[in-house]
Structure 1
Amino acid sequence: MGFQNLSTLVTTSLPTINLKTISFFWYDYLLFTVVLGFSSLIGIFFGCFRKQDTKKEYLLGGKRMNVWPIAISLVASHTSAITVLAIPADVYRYGLGFWQGCISLFLLHFTTSYIFLPVFYKLELTSIYEYLAMRFDEKTRMMASALYAVSLLLYLPIVIYIPSLGFATATGIGVHVVAPIACGICIFYTTIGGLKAVVWTDTFQFTLTVGCLVAVLMLALEKAGGFFTMWNTALEGHRLDVSFDPDPTRRDGFWAVVIGLTFMFTAQNSINQGCIQKFLALPSIADAKKSCFIYTQGCIIAKTLSILIGLTMYAIFAGCDPFTTKKVERNDQLVPYFIVDVGSSVPGLSGLFFAGVFCAALSTLSANLNCVAGTLYTDFISKVMDPKVSEKVASNILKLLVIIVGVCGCLMIYIIEHLGGIVQLSISLKGIADGPLLGVFAMGVLSRRINSKGAFYGALLSMLFMSWFFMMVKYYEKMGHLKYEAKPLSTANCTYIFNFNETSTISPPPSDDNIFYMFRLSFYYYTVIGTMMCCFIGSCISFFTNKKDDPIVPKKLLCPLVHWMYDDEEDEIEQVNKSNGDYFNVEQAIQLTTSHVEEAEKKS
């Protein structure tokens, strides 16, 4: 039936419905408190008993970190509350389209390990945006750093808002009380502990999060009648449908998800200060590549667990949808309601699960707080400070930046909570800044032909366009003209009376076809659009502004995969050009020139 008929109420009197609510007992609160308290103790240990008074210690762990803790920390940072709460609810409503992104995670290992990481690791950068100053100019670097900071400020409140809402549903404590407390704990251990605290806390938190997901999945599968029963129910409910239709307006089409998430994951990891900062903390490039491989496989496992929980939720609620019966009002409440339904007989499961959810959120939050502090200090604060400032002062400034950014992210919750569905919102926001940033870095490492003007204006114009595009899409969504058609929902097997007079399969109407085609594109393509637009504009501007006497870009600033395009003689001559702000002296230039002449005479 259509949505227009959903508001029709039954004429008979309705009985009181005993809705299940999440009840926190003393042991739930105890488990929740112990987990968050242990995270703080890790920060105290590294902050007070393992001194980190230098920038290198605070941001890179002294480059003495190990492969497995770094890999697990990266998986934990990637496995946010969005993975634990939002993705299962999205699967329940729209099917397993997001699971196709596992292909994108396989591709992510290639883009990170063989395109971007070799360049960044060889240059030994504190901030990857230093690369843009070396490859293009300081203006491009400053703009990219600012875009990154803004992108994180938009993303961090999403990360903390989701578990806060779930916990508020569980305990009755308001979201705006829970969120500041959780942010405060994270800010505390990130501020005093630095990267080492972030990595080891992430390792502990990820272990707990995965444990909770596995426990919930096992209990849910038992209630659903086993894995094969769950799978068949999901198949009958069209939750396992895969569409290879190339139509870019399909929300979860195969090509939209795989192509879109490949670009988004690349922007989110390969050129992300938080990820690269952890890779650079390893002692060798081989260790960094090994850690990257473990990281991508861990992400696939975490995503798979979340997808299976979403499918199992559908199998349990297939005949009596809690949205239609008004047991839950929004997607973010579905998983908490589900936890009560499957785990009410297990004492402490609710507290442990929400501790795991908060662990997922805090690991993401702490990693981003640490890296955005490093970026702001390196690319902005250090420019106006005395170059002779002590390392201890620099470390203290970094800690202050963590506090400021954390507080700003917490305050942004008041805005984010009004912007709609979390999965769609988080992916859409990535296109505004991450698309142009990926375009700039891709042009830098893959081509010598792109100049500083092309990079700067390509990123700027692309960012402005994507901001306008995002606001227009949100406007059409707010006006009710833009909707994504969900999978069918049913109330045919409900055993109680609810306030609608029909129990047939329910599906919302699709978008208004009168909207301009571009605004109906799947949100998975937003990062692709931002990247492609940046590259196209940058290439055009560079083509018309390049000069013959422009300095040749050193090969060390290019991806090793494109070195074959440039001969060795050109590579040696480029050393005479300006490189990273320094010129070679006259004697070196004469020596290089003489060697070229001698080699030419030998060949002749």
Structure 2
Amino acid sequence: MSAAFLFSIVIIYFVLLLAVAWKTGKNSNNESFFIGNRNSNWMLVAFGMIGTSLSGVTFVSVPGAVGKDAFGYMQVVLGYMIGYILIAYVLLPLYYRLQLTSIYGYLKTRMGLLSYKTGAWFFIISRLVGATARLYLVVHILQITILDSFGIPFWVSTVIILVMIILYTFEGGVKTIVWTDTLQTTCMLAGLVICTVFLLKHMNISVGDSLNAMRSAGLSKVFNTDPMSSGYFIKQILAGMFITLSMTGIDQEMMQKSISVTNLKDSKKNMVSLAFIMLVVIGLFLYLGGLLHLFAAQEGLTAKGDALFPDVALNHMPSYISIIFIVALISALFPSADGAMTALTSSFCIDIMGLQRRTDMAEKQKKQFRQKVHLIVAFSFLLMVLLFYWINDNSMIGIILKLAGYTYGPLLGLFAFGIFTKRRPADGRVPYVCFIAPIICFFIDKYQSAIFGDFKIGLELIIINAALTFIGLLAISKPVTDHSELEQDSVH
């Protein structure tokens, strides 16, 4: 299939997104952009959050990693489920009670202005790194499959994609994204199912036979029972739980969609539904990964890791499957990038610049300021994607989860301290604690063989980081003597 035809599919898909954005973005204001006027349908939010949570990394990297880790990623997913339940019944009630637009406003109420700013900056760094790593992966695949044939440089391809995202998020923000994410999640999941069914029919095997073949090839193992391994199941489940608490529960991008739901009851439904849907969907991605590796072995293919699924879909399947793959891939691309850009714009405007509290600016000026910030965020995305292009790693999911351990750990420690203690830290010292903890974690990770011997630290690095932050906050805190200060923001 020609690259020109595939490129035309991308353009048609983008025009459809613009149509949705035009319909939903009419008469939008800053409140629409930041939290969708708190009028989002919980079912749409839950379904759309699947696409945001999965992204192009899951679509390509999870199936590709089956060859190395089998179904071991399911251990992390079980932890995700626990994390979603905790978010529903611990964090969401807190956010709704305080009527937050930015969830980091909790830190200001509980600890002070510098703690609040520190939390917001850690989110900005974390989401910028994570979202651009995901964006890089998909743009890279589109580059080698379509855009290279037109002689378009990688940096130009990235600019084109970012301009597309800006065009449909510029006005509506969250109000638009709730609907575009629903469309994109539908396309992505349809692609997953269709590719899975095609592989089963092509190899002429049943689901049961395929599972037996995966078991024989060592592709379907889920639980690692070696306590010394970095993939030990207890470590992975705990890491998955804390990653979800961090990358969803205390992440402005994910939570601004949840708190845009009309009421707490429906927002809880959104989060609990997401927990069970994610278990099923990622299970299907792992199963697809097993099928791809069986197909590769049968056909003698050499592609591995992130390159396997694109190679099979574009070079060894019929043209209609290639089209479905491209549509599903760009459907996985946009939710992880558009929501991140919107959330980063929201956090910078609200948390760092205090835009909502500014009385010296008219509403029109505030909107213009927010739009300028949105463009600056897009430029930052460009720079970070180019950085990942220079690094060029074969498995982006490993990089993303590793980076999450460093950047989200302090955020997790801050929220845990605020929720589970009745102490108040010295606000001026909080930034030092939050920056020192990841540095200590870096050296622990780098020299872990010298420190722990055969015991390997994996994704649970985020737990260590959060614990170090928590301990540091304890050391610089004192009991709150006036308990009325805690009543308004503690979890009862």
Task: Give the structure-1-normalised TM-score.
Answer: 0.75
Q: Deviations along 1:90-140, whole A, 9 cap, x unmatched?
A: 112221111123322321232111111111111011111111010001011
Distance (whole Å) between structure 2 residues aligned to residue 310 and residue 352 of structure 1: 17
Question: Cα distance 1:175–1:34, how it changes in 2: closer, same or farther (>3 A)?
Answer: same
Q: Which residue of 2 aligns with 1:484?
A: none
Instruction: Report the AA paired with residue 52 of structure 1.
Output: S
Aligned counterparts of 1:548 and 1:85: Cα–Cα separation in 2: 49
- Return the offset for 1:428: 0.4
Match of residue 65 from structure 2: 90
Q: 1:237 aligns with which of 211, 214, 217?
A: 217
User: Per-residue CA shift, 1:278-337, capped at 9, x if unaligned?
Assistant: 1211121101101112222232232122111111112222356633xxxx3x62221111
**2:224 and 2:307 mapped to 1: Cα distance?**
31
Secondary structure of 1:124's partner?
coil
Q: Which residue of 2 aligns with 1:365?
A: 337
SS in structure 2 at match of 1:193: coil
1:538 equivalent in alignment to 2:473: yes
Matched residue type, 2:220: L
Unaligned runs of 5+ in 2: none
CA separation in 1, counterparts of 2:122 and 2:272? Answer: 28
User: 1: distance between equivalents of 2:358 and 2:181?
Assistant: 35
Residue from 170, 177, 181 that aligns with 1:202: 181
2:413 to 439, 455, 468: 439
Offset of residue 448 of structure 1: 0.9
Aligned to 1:119: 94
Mapping for residues 264-275 of structure 1, pairs under 5 Å: 264-275=243-254
Aligned residue number for residue 36 of structure 2: 61
Corresponding residue of 1:504: none
Counterpart of 2:488 in structure 1 is: 556
CA distance in 2, matches of 1:195, 1:514: 45
RMSD: 2.5
What number of residue pairs does the alignment pair up? Answer: 484
Given that 1:100 and 1:257 are in contact with CA atoms closer than 8 Å, whether structure 2 keeps it comes out as yes
Deviates most, 517-526 or 176-185: 517-526
Aligned equivalents of 2:374 and 2:411: distance in 1?
23
SS in 2 for 1:281: coil
Aligned match of 1:148: 123
Q: Which has the higher contact order (CA 8 A, sep 6+)?
A: 2
| Counterparts of residues 11-410 of structure 1 (less than 5 Å) | 23-24=1-2, 27-47=5-25, 50-53=26-29, 55-171=30-146, 173=148, 174-224=153-203, 225-245=205-225, 247-248=227-228, 250-318=229-297, 322-323=301-302, 328=303, 331-340=305-314, 342-344=316-318, 347-382=319-354, 386-410=358-382
Q: Which residue of 1 aligns with 2:434?
A: 459
Cα distance in 2 between the residues matched to 1:291 and 1:243: 29
CA contact (8 A) 2:135 2:336 kept: no
Shift of 1:537: 2.2
Cα pair distance change 1:469/1:179, threshold 3 Å? farther
Does the aligned pair in 1 maintain the 2:3–2:145 contact within 8 Å? Answer: no
Structure 1 spans left out of the alignment, 5+ residues? 1-22, 474-512, 561-604
User: Residues 168 and 178 of structure 1 are in contact (CA less than 8 Å); yes or no, is this contact kept in structure 2?
Assistant: yes
Residue type of the alignment partner of 2:111: F
- Provide the TM-score with structure 2 as the length reference: 0.91
Answer yes or no: is the 8 Å Cα contact 2:159–2:382 preserved in 1. yes
Distance 1:541 1:456 in 2: 11
Taking the aligned partners of 1:408 and 1:92, their CA distance within structure 2 comes to 34
Larger radius of gyration: 1
CA contact (8 A) 1:219 1:342 kept: no
1:228 partner amino acid: G
Confirm or deny: 8 A CA contact 1:163 1:354 kept in the other structure.
no
Letter in 1 for 2:458: F
Deviations 1:35-63 (A, max 9, x none): 1221122223333xx2112x222211111
CA distance in 1 between partners of 2:97 and 2:65 (Å): 41
Residue 270 of structure 1, CA deviation:
0.9
Alpha-carbon deviations, 1:188-237, whole Å to 9, x = none? 21112221111111111110110011100111122232222221121112
CA distances 1:421-468 after superposition (whole Å, capped 9, x unpaired): 311100000011101101110110122135345755442321332355
Write the letter of the residue equivalent to 1:412. Answer: M
Q: What amino acid does structure 1 have at the position aligned with 2:93?
A: P
AA of the residue aligned to 1:288? S
